Amino acid sequence: MLRDESREAWADMSIKTFACMFLFITLAAANPCDAPAATIALLKNAGACMGCHNAKDMFIVFGNKEKMSVTVSERAFSNTVHAALNCTDCHRTISLEGHPGKVIGSKNAFLREASAACRSCHSDDKVKAKPHHAYMAERADTPPCTECHGSHGVLSVARWKATLRGHEYCLTCHSRTISKTVGTSERLSLRIDQADQTSSVHNKHDCSDCHTEYTADTHPVKTFADARTRSIVISGVCAKCHEDKHTAVRGSMHYNLSFRVGETLVSRGRPEAPVCTDCHGFHTVGAKETYETLSGIPCRKCHENIFAIYAKSVHGMAKARGEHRAPLCASCHFAHEINFTAMSDKIKAACLGCHEGIEAVHGRWLPNAELHLAAVACAACHAPSTEKGIYLQLIDEKTGRPVPVDQMLQVLGITGEELSGQLDAHGQGLDSYELAYLLRRLNLKGAGAKISFLGKMDVMKYSEAHQLSLKKYAVRKCEDCHSPASNFFKKVTLAVVKTDGGIDRYRTQTDVLKSIFLTESSKQFYALGGTRIAFLDWAGIFIVFCGLMFPVVHVTLRIFTAPVRRAKKADEAEKGKKS
């Protein structure tokens, strides 16, 4: 009985082995790369492999104990672009004799070995012709082909693409840990977290909506000096949909200070100035309400010193307490149209935007409240421990607008350097003669413009303007301003507005506001007690002295001439007696 069973088993094994060997020899004889579609029947010869590998619970254990399923769905495989191939066309080292053969060290080694077979049909030249392959073909750490294309489910490229929605095609590679080198050594991750992309407000967009030069068919190779330059250039694409915001940014100081978005190179200035992606992120662009911008984190990157001051302010402390309405950077400076605030009403408008009706509140105790609010910056009073000063600004009386430095240079016919040299040539601050002379030249040579000085009381360091304090600490005593001894009058600065909105400051001597030479030219700035003209004081002393001296001199003369009158009276009395 045992002998019969053994004989049957041996016969059965011999038949199977023979059949397998025959199939392997047949399959190996065929050239897979040249296999026409008509040879699909040959796949039936893979039945020997599929006889086992169609089972669901087949695994291979690698040398490093990694475990991998080796199940192959015959049905799925028959639908792939490789359906005409035999198993050994790719798994060339596998034979029935030694199957499963040597123990492979790891899954990765196995996949690399299997992927190497792809190159026998897909030559390097053909592979590199595809730009997205070109990046990786020469690299030592190039992922195996199966990493992206799969192993037994490889579809034709056309069919494969048809199954993928826009960004899914890109994410086939970019959801993986891939990176590139920019510049000389900077590594730039190209991995996109699909979860980020899905939760983004841009999740309905295809990658190529922003990365316009990249499609399923085109993948240009781009080089950048560094990752920052790349970010700046890529941010330019936001304008495609967000033109209004982009226009605002184009007018902002950040834009003017740093670069021109959309140019291929950072053309000037400071590339660390923020672009769209610095605040909004790249693929994580959230709903407006959730912007990290409001946390000020992007601003902090460059303006850390402001945050240190802000943290101690009434607003900063309120924010720290969790009061969401407390303002942060964008609340006052706005998000996109960020610009210089010196010599402008932008910040005041922001203050009044939240502190509604504050003009009326000031009006309850402050005479001429509207006028005070126009001439005095909020921070000048509400940041009490700051250094104060007065800014004199050149104003075109006809337009009410500041005269920018470019206009000054044009009218004066000099260069910026010459102007700087002329203003405060002696290094002791501009005196009243120099200011008056400057104004006279501007008005003589100006094309019909009537230029004069407008004064504004403000903090001297704009960073300190963030140090806003509680109301009870604000300047409230009139004497704090309306006195020549006031801190405001200790520093007077000529502020010339630059074309980009910034200001050039020129120190002036503190007594310029008391000069009679500037009476007419600074007629728009007047602060009781603080701008009194020194010459007028001396004239007043003289006039009042004369008034006082009239009775003094007259009385003195009367005293000295009293004997004359007494003598005359006596003489008249004598004459009266005689008569």
Partner 1 sequence: MKKVFLQPMTVRIWHWVNALSFFVLVATGVQIRYRDIPNLATFKTSVDLHNFFGFLLIADFLLWFAFYVFTGKIRVYVPLNPKKFIVGALRQMRYYGYGMMIGEKDPHHATPEEKFNPLQQSAYFMVMLILMPLQVVSGILLWDIRMFAGWIAMLGGLRVVDIVHVVAFFLLTAFLFVHVYLTTLGRTPLAHIKAMFTGYEEVEENE
- Choose among 50, 56, 57: nearest CA to 20: 50
- Choose among 38, 35, 58, 54: nearest CA to 46: 54
Q: Measured at the alpha carbon of residue 289, what is the angle toward residues 288 and 291, in degrees to the nearest 5?
A: 70
Compute the least distance from the CB of residue 496 to partner 1, in Å.
22
Compute the least distance from the CB of residue 367 to partner 1, in Å.
7
User: Per the structure block, which two tokens stand in for 10?
Assistant: 């041996």
Q: Which of 6, 526, 573, 574 binds partner 1 (CB under 8 A)?
A: 526
Kind plus residue range of the DSSP H or E element containing 297? helix 297-300
**Torsion sign over Cα 557, 562, 563, 566:** positive
Rounded CA separation 135/141 (Å): 11
Rounded CA separation 341/353 (Å): 16
Compute the least distance from the CB of residue 492 to partner 1, in Å.
15
Compute the least distance from the CB of residue 200 to partner 1, in Å.
52
Residue 519 interacting with partner 1 (CB under 8 A)? yes
Nearer to partner 1 among residue 3 and residue 477 (C-beta): 477
Compute the least distance from the CB of residue 503 to partner 1, in Å.
24
> What DSSP string runs through 213-268?
T--SS-------SSHHHHHHHHHGGGGGT-HHHHHHHHTSHHHHHH--TTSSS--S
Q: Count Cβ neighbours within 10 Å for each residue of 402-413 and write b for 16 or more, e otherwise.
A: bbbbebbeebbe
Spell out, one character per residue from 422 to 461, where the chain touches partner 1: x when CB under 8 A holds, - when not.
----------------------------------------
Nearer to partner 1 among residue 59 and residue 560 (C-beta): 560
Nearer to partner 1 among residue 18 and residue 526 (C-beta): 526
Compute the least distance from the CB of residue 334 to partner 1, in Å.
29
Find the binding residues for partner 1 in span 349-408 (CB under 8 A). Answer: 367-368, 370-371
Nearer to partner 1 among residue 425 and residue 528 (C-beta): 528
- CA distances (Å), 191 to each of 175, 221, 382, 578, in order? 5, 17, 48, 135
- CA distances (Å), 461 to each of 315, 390, 469, 493, in order? 18, 12, 16, 12
Nearer to partner 1 among residue 192 and residue 518 (C-beta): 518
Instruction: Give one word for 179, left, alpha or beta, with left for phi > 0 and alpha for psi -120 to 50.
Output: beta
User: Per the structure block, which two tokens stand in for 186?
Assistant: 């900077």
Nearer to partner 1 among residue 176 and residue 565 (C-beta): 565
CB 188 within 8 A of CB 274: no
Spell out, one character per residue from 528 to 567, where the chain touches partner 1: x when CB under 8 A holds, - when not.
xx-xxx--x--xx--xx-xxx-xx--xx-xx--x--xx--
Q: Which of 175, 199, 344, 524 binds partner 1 (CB under 8 A)?
A: 524
Nearer to partner 1 among residue 243 and residue 370 (C-beta): 370
Q: Which residue's entry shows tokens 């000529």? A: 494
Nearer to partner 1 among residue 241 and residue 371 (C-beta): 371
Nearer to partner 1 among residue 324 and residue 477 (C-beta): 477
Compute the least distance from the CB of residue 256 to partner 1, in Å.
35
Helix, strand or coil for residue 508? strand
Do strands 401-402 and 388-396 pair parallel, antiparallel, or not at all (unpaired)?
A: antiparallel
Compute the least distance from the CB of residue 275 to partner 1, in Å.
44
Which long-range CB contacts under 8 A does 97-100 form with residues at least 24 apart?
100/60
Alpha carbon 513 to its chain's center:
41
Neighbours of 187 (CB within 10 A): 11
Find the binding residues for partner 1 in span 467-496 (CB under 8 A). Answer: 477-479, 482-485
Nearer to partner 1 among residue 52 and residue 536 (C-beta): 536
Nearer to partner 1 among residue 357 and residue 563 (C-beta): 563
Nearer to partner 1 among residue 193 and residue 572 (C-beta): 572
Nearer to partner 1 among residue 99 and residue 523 (C-beta): 523
Compute the least distance from the CB of residue 579 to partner 1, in Å.
16
Neighbours of 316 (CB within 10 A): 21
Residue 463 interacting with partner 1 (CB under 8 A)? no
Residue 574 interacting with partner 1 (CB under 8 A)? no
3-state helix, strand, coil in the chain (%, to 5): 50, 10, 40
Rounded CA separation 318/324 (Å): 8
Compute the least distance from the CB of residue 359 to partner 1, in Å.
12
Compute the least distance from the CB of residue 538 to partner 1, in Å.
11
Residue 522 interacting with partner 1 (CB under 8 A)? yes
Nearer to partner 1 among residue 470 and residue 478 (C-beta): 478
- Choose among 455, 415, 458: nearest CA to 435: 455
Rounded CA separation 339/333 (Å): 7
Compute the least distance from the CB of residue 529 to partner 1, in Å.
4
Q: Which residue's entry shows tokens 């000020």? A: 296
Compute the least distance from the CB of residue 407 to partner 1, in Å.
22
Rounded CA separation 115/109 (Å): 10
Find the binding residues for partner 1 in span 194-233 (CB under 8 A). Answer: none
Count of residues in contact with partner 1, rule CB under 8 A: 42
- Candidate ranges 78-86, 164-172, 321-329, 524-532; the one touching partner 1 (CB under 8 A): 524-532
- Candidate ranges 9-17, 156-164, 308-316, 516-524; the one touching partner 1 (CB under 8 A): 516-524
Do strands 67-69 and 179-182 pair parallel, antiparallel, or not at all (unpaired)?
A: unpaired
Residue 413 interacting with partner 1 (CB under 8 A)? no
Helix, strand or coil for residue 31? coil
Compute the least distance from the CB of residue 455 to partner 1, in Å.
11
- Candidate ranges 65-73, 186-194, 411-419, 515-523; the one touching partner 1 (CB under 8 A): 515-523
Rounded CA separation 116/137 (Å): 12
> Which residues bind to partner 1, rule: CB under 8 A?
367-368, 370-371, 477-479, 482-485, 519-520, 522-526, 528-529, 531-533, 536, 539-540, 543-544, 546-548, 550-551, 554-555, 557-558, 561, 564-565, 568-569
